[in-house]
């Protein structure tokens, strides 16, 4: 009978002790037998404003020591019947964005070949492009839940086609995602023209700008997404800057008037039951997060995503 990995309990070892793995789960050196792999992609060379996300995985792991294995809000217990481990960080090349994106793609091909669900801690958002390439290679074009302050559909930045601001145009062009099963939630701020958002609507993307969500319960949107996507494989990419800077100051390109953490949880809770094939949480920049609370929030959102993976039950 499978012995499922469990986080170290807070009464077994003081929370400030133990391995610096996600939730103090065991560190796995092999993918053998895993259902889910939590991993880090410590990179910040794809970012255009404040850097620092290279320390994101380390800090998210550190703050995740506070999280216990059972979700009081919805009764989910992901460690009851999924084998989950932290497999460490991808060995990216910190001096080359292009090379790092290649490494990510190759690493994900390996993970997906083992039918393991990867849950990544960024790193800047540029990591999601090679991830989606691997996802599409495995599953065909995927549905996408993209929670973010920015649509990230630029054509280029400084002449570069692959940065943290061009990910979803590339994903659309390369048919990595299903356009009318692509949802962009929380986008806002300033831009250059209406087409910054509307062009993607023309491709089929469904957009929920933050200003339509202020003071709202996001459960309904979550339900709508679930019904629209049905059983199609879905990838969730969560940019921490979707949250208001009051809730998540530690990020590279903050935009005011964003979502709240209650809204984030309402949304994720409502996605339970979908065919989630992977997810990421990106853009946590510890140098701008002295309290550690942005990383704590990121750790919790990752845990909430674990709680809605296929096979997780409630008790």
Q: Which residues in 211-230 contact its own copies (CB under 8 A)?
A: 211, 214-217
Q: Is the peptide bond before 123 cis (omega within 30 degrees of 0)?
A: yes
- Using the minimum distance from each CB to its own copies, give the nearer residue, 262 or 311: 262
Locus of tokens 């793995």: 21
Using the contact rule CB under 8 A, the part of the chain among 106-114, 140-148, 167-175, 297-305 near its own copies is 297-305
Structural contact between residues 104 and 130, judged by C-beta atoms closer than 8 angstroms:
yes
Structural contact between residues 76 and 308, judged by C-beta atoms closer than 8 angstroms:
yes
Binding residues for Mn(2+): 125, 148, 150, 152, 239, 241
- Degrees to nearest 5, angle at CA 199 with 271 and 142: 35
- Using the minimum distance from each CB to its own copies, give the nearer residue, 157 or 224: 157
Instruction: Identify the residue among 178, 264, 270, 295 touching its own copies (CB under 8 A).
Output: 264
Instruction: Identify the residue among 4, 33, 68, 228 touching its own copies (CB under 8 A).
Output: 68
Instruction: Identify the residue among 70, 138, 203, 206 touching its own copies (CB under 8 A).
Output: 70
- Using the minimum distance from each CB to its own copies, give the nearer residue, 189 or 310: 189
Decide: is 81 part of the binding site for its own copies (CB under 8 A).
no
**Nearest Cα residue to 36 out of 71, 69, 81:** 81
Decide: is 158 part of the binding site for its own copies (CB under 8 A).
yes
Question: Minimum CB separation from its own copies for residue 138, in Å?
Answer: 25
Decide: is 262 part of the binding site for its own copies (CB under 8 A).
yes
Please give the residues from 267 up to 296 whose contact with its own copies meets the rule CB under 8 A: 287-288, 290-291, 293, 296
At 206, list the tokens. 């469904």
Cα separation, 116 vs 38, whole angstroms: 10
Instruction: Identify the residue among 3, 72, 202, 227 touching its own copies (CB under 8 A).
Output: 72
Strand partners for 66 = none
Decide: is 58 part of the binding site for its own copies (CB under 8 A).
yes
Decide: is 13 part of the binding site for its own copies (CB under 8 A).
yes
Question: Minimum CB separation from its own copies for residue 9, in Å?
Answer: 8
Counting residues that bind its own copies (by CB under 8 A) gives 99
Decide: is 55 part of the binding site for its own copies (CB under 8 A).
yes
Cα separation, 6 vs 22, whole angstroms: 11
**Nearest Cα residue to 53 out of 279, 291, 259, 253:** 253
Please give the residues from 115 up to 154 whose contact with its own copies meets the rule CB under 8 A: none
The helix/strand/coil state of 275 is coil
**Nearest Cα residue to 167 out of 130, 139, 123:** 130
The helix/strand/coil state of 257 is coil
Instruction: Identify the residue among 26, 109, 232, 249 touching its own copies (CB under 8 A).
Output: 249
Decide: is 188 part of the binding site for its own copies (CB under 8 A).
yes
Question: Minimum CB separation from its own copies for residue 255, in Å?
Answer: 8
Q: How far apart are the first and last CA of the chain?
A: 20
Decide: is 106 part of the binding site for its own copies (CB under 8 A).
no
At 87, list the tokens. 């497999």
Distance of CA 307 to CAs 80, 164, 185, 219, Å? 11, 27, 20, 16
- Using the minimum distance from each CB to its own copies, give the nearer residue, 101 or 236: 101
């Amino acid at each position: 009978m499978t012995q499922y990995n469990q986080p170290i309990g807070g009464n077994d070892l003081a929370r400030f002790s133990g391995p610096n793995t996600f939730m103090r789960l065991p560190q796995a050196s092999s993918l053998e037998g895993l259902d889910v792999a939590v991993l880090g992609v410590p990179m910040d060379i794809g970012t255009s404003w404040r850097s620092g996300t290279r320390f994101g995985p380390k800090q998210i792991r550190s703050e995740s020591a506070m999280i216990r294995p059972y979700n009081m809000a919805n009764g989910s217990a992901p460690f009851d019947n999924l084998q989950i481990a932290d497999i460490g960080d991808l060995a990216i090349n910190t001096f080359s964005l292009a090379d790092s994106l290649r490494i990510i793609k190759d690493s994900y091909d390996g993970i997906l070949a083992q039918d393991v669900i990867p849950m990544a801690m960024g790193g800047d958002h540029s990591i999601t492009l090679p991830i989606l390439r691997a996802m599409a290679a495995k599953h065909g074009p995927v549905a996408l839940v993209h929670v973010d302050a920015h649509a990230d559909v630029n054509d280029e930045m400084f002449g570069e086609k692959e940065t943290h601001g061009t990910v979803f145009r590339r994903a659309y062009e390369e048919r990595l995602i299903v356009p009318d099963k692509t949802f962009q939630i929380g986008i806002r701020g300033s831009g250059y023209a209406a087409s910054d958002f509307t062009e993607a609507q023309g491709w089929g993307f469904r957009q929920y700008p933050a200003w339509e969500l202020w003071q709202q319960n996001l459960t309904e949107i979550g339900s709508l997404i679930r019904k629209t996507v049905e059983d199609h494989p879905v990838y969730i990419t969560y940019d921490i800057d979707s949250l208001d800077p009051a809730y998540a100051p530690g990020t590279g390109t903050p935009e005011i008037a964003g979502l709240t953490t209650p809204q984030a949880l309402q949304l994720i809770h409502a996605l339970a039951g979908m065919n989630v094939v992977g997810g990421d949480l990106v853009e946590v920049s510890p140098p701008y997060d002295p309290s550690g609370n942005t990383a704590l929030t990121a750790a919790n959102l990752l845990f909430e995503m674990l709680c809605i993976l296929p096979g997780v039950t409630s008790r």
